[in-house]
Amino acid sequence: MTQPVRRVLILQEPGWGGVATMTQTLHHALGEAGDSDGGHGAQGNIYANANFQVTTLPWRQTPWRTLVRAAQQHDVIVASHNFGPTYCGVALKALSGTPLVSWVHGPLQDVLQEAHASVLKKFWLRQVYAQVDHFVSVSRTSENSLLGFLKQLKPTQRSHVIANALAPLPAGQAIHVHAGHGGDSGIPPLLVGYVGRLSAEKRPGLLLDTLRFLPDEAQLALVGEGPLHRHLSHQGMDLLMQGRLHFLGKHPWGASLYRPWEITLLTSRYEGCPMTALESLACGVPCVALPIPAMRELFDRDAPYLLARGDAPVALAEAVMTVLSLPPEQVQGDMARIVARHNLPAFRQAWQEVLLAC
């Protein structure tokens, strides 16, 4: 039986990082079997297949009249994030009557706590989220946080968990890390890396503290920018002088972000389903993280040794050394199983079921 065509409007949140990556992944996953019109203009990119016609529009940059007209011409609106795009989606739903899906990435209660959100802001958010028809969370961790915040869904609302999927990574632009020799011993350097925003919720300061607990030959490469860059430079002045710390700035997305080093570090205060971790594993580079709920959800089943035994820098450093001591074949096999669970066909099928239910 042929499914009806569903015209899907994705409200895109411009930016750099996992949300932007997953928005692009969803767009192409839904339209992968169809033909592209080759358009990249103000009206967005449109793909079609037997079941879906997908339009992606940047909600901040698109004229309001264009957004309203697009909402009226589509069968379902997908807000690519549960903040700005969802606010826009609620307004468009009110004007067009088109059902709204909100994509929930991070654990909401942790995000609001980090932002010191007021009681009034939380009350307003509950009113906004009451207008959403379907929530799609990227992990059980994110869904539990959302439901804990909402207390109870309306009878007409539905909540789903669809883990992030890994699209094939392009090679990307080569990164050159000018790593010196491994300290006075002449041992080859042990290069570890970080990819992400240099902001408070990512706790990049823990990366520098962890480096100090690693052997002298260990060096840290930071890919990304953010408000804590200058603070980190001062905090790590001794490491910079020793040639053990490298600020590499932003680089185009791709496998080249991970392959220069042996291990990726993740020190976030909270995560939903971090693409940094999944992409690192897909490139064959272990990702060692603090044992926050989202990372336990991701790693506990196949590779619990990728989690530190506590949230102290020394625990993270010990986890790094543990991974390096394990047989490479074991680590690669465990990572491959994690990556396999985040495959595109399952991701596409789960999203199709949600969108057809709208």
Lowest-confidence segment of 10-14, 251-255, 332-336 by average pLDDT: 251-255
pLDDT of residue 43: 46
Lowest-confidence segment of 131-145, 178-192, 234-248, 259-273 by average pLDDT: 178-192
Q: Is position 177 within any domain?
A: no
Q: Is position 176 within any domain?
A: no
pLDDT of residue 188: 78
Instruction: Give per-residue pLDDT as tens, 6-21.
Output: 899 999 987 768 898 9
What is the domain-level CATH number for residue 261?
3.40.50.2000
Which residue segment(s) compose the domain that 16 sits in?
Answer: 6-165+343-356
Inter-residue contact 138 to 162 (CB < 8 Å): yes
Q: Within this chain, do residues 325 and 251 fall inside the same structural domain, yes or no?
A: yes
Q: Is position 218 within any domain?
A: yes
Q: Is position 139 within any domain?
A: yes
Q: Within this chain, do residues 112 and 201 fall inside the same structural domain, yes or no?
A: no
The domain total for the chain is: 2
Inter-residue contact 222 to 247 (CB < 8 Å): yes
Q: Within this chain, do residues 244 and 159 fall inside the same structural domain, yes or no?
A: no
Q: Within this chain, do residues 92 and 193 fall inside the same structural domain, yes or no?
A: no
Q: Within this chain, do residues 106 and 221 fall inside the same structural domain, yes or no?
A: no
Q: Within this chain, do residues 142 and 222 fall inside the same structural domain, yes or no?
A: no
Q: Within this chain, do residues 261 and 306 fall inside the same structural domain, yes or no?
A: yes
Instruction: Give per-residue pLDDT as tens, 343-353.
Output: 999 999 999 99
Q: Within this chain, do residues 310 and 197 fall inside the same structural domain, yes or no?
A: yes
C-alpha distances out from residue 228 to 14, 170, 201, 232, 251, Å = 21, 29, 11, 6, 18
From 297, 284, 278, select the one nearest 323 (Cα to Cα): 284
Tokens of 250: 């932003």
Q: Within this chain, do residues 187 and 334 fall inside the same structural domain, yes or no?
A: yes
Instruction: Give per-residue pLDDT as tens, 40-95.
Output: 334 455 554 448 899 999 999 999 999 999 999 999 999 999 999 999 999 999 99
Q: Supply the pTM of this predicted model.
A: 0.90
